[in-house]
Every structure is written in C-alpha cells, then in structure tokens.
Amino acid sequence: MIYPWHFLLMAGMYILAGIFHFLKPKAYLRIMPRYLPQHKLLVYLSGAAEILLGIGLVITATKTLAIYGIILMLLIFLLVHFYMLSSKKAAAGIPVWALILRLPLQFVLIWWAYFYL
C-alpha cells in the first residue's frame, strides 16, 4: 500500500523517538515520575514500543492496531508531562511555558494518529 508522506512522517517520528530512548536514555530517565518502578526498564520498553508501533504503522496488517497502540501510549505519556510540571527538578531544565505547550501537543498527536483509522 502507498501511504501519504504525512503518514510516513508520523511513522518515522515514532521510530526515531524510540531509537533515542536507547541512544540517550539519561534524558528520559531524568523525566520519569518517581512513583513508577524500574525507570531504566521503562525507558527501554517505551522506546521499543515506539519503534515497533512506528514500524507497525506501515505494515497493512498491523496499521490499525499500531494506531490504537500509539493513542494509548500517548495517553500514558501524559503522566510524564504532568509530572514534569510538578517541580523544577522534574522539569529537567525545560521552561514551564514549553511544558504547558506540550500538553495540547499530545492531543494533536493523538488526533493525528486517529485521523488514519
């Protein structure tokens, strides 16, 4: 199947984001909420999930499942975004205005994925 460029961009974005979980795990470890266990494992699992879901988008048989997976993943990632707003340390040096802008961006990303169902 031939997919539009913006669909391929979305798939590539998740694959690349997932790869960065393995290349720069410390960046992700800094923003993990303290109430979650085994931070390093969760960083690697979330990176693997992003890669697999990104690949799943371009496989016709798994496209719909991958879209639902991405939507669920983005909803779960909202926990991290709210946690980062909870304190200066959790913000990892990112300005509060940028953290606030990330919240509606999550919903735009959810809509972007939902658009292809």
Q: Where are the domains of the chain?
A: 5-114
63-100 pLDDT per residue, tens: 999 999 999 999 999 999 999 999 888 898 999 999 99
| Angle, alpha carbons 117-99-72 (nearest 5°) | 25
Give the C-alpha distances (Å, rounded to integers) separating 18 from 14, 23, 95, 104: 6, 9, 24, 21
The residue-averaged pLDDT of 3-31 equals: 97
Residue in this structure with the two tokens 């735009």, named with its chain if needed: 108
Per-residue model confidence (pLDDT) at position 58: 98
Whether 1 shows a pLDDT value over 90: the answer reads: no
State the amino acid at position 17 in one-letter form: A
| Percent of the chain clearing pLDDT 90 (strictly above) | 93
Whether 50 shows a pLDDT value over 90: the answer reads: yes
Per-residue model confidence (pLDDT) at position 38: 97
Helix H segments across 24-95? 25-29, 39-57, 63-84, 88-91
Residue in this structure with the two tokens 């984001």, named with its chain if needed: 17
